[in-house]
Amino acid sequence: MKKETFSVKGMMCAHCEARVTNALSALDGVKSVKASAKKGEVTVKYEEAALSSDTIRTAITETGYEVLA
């Protein structure tokens, strides 16, 4: 199990947090997601064998937000 925090630009409210949370929760291997618009970050716990951090970054980007370095 890996826990990783991503800096995300563009989340402004609880609706934004929910969009990101729902998109990531739908991925196989994701165990938990905590999105914070206030902090501009998303913390994800996931199974490394089933998922890569690149896949998570792509899912966040596809919801309309920018993942910072």
What is the chain's mean pLDDT, rounded?
Answer: 96
Mutual angle of helices 14-25 and 53-62, in 10-degree steps: 130
Burial of 44 (0-12, 13-18, 19+ CB in 10 A): buried
Q: Strands across the sheet with 66-67, in order?
A: 30-36, 41-46, 2-9, 66-67
Q: CATH says 2-67 is which class?
A: alpha beta
Confidence (pTM) = 0.92
Q: How many CB atoms lie within 10 A of CB 7?
A: 12
The amino acid sitting at 50 is A
Q: What is the pLDDT of residues 13-31, one digit of tens each?
A: 999 999 999 999 999 999 9
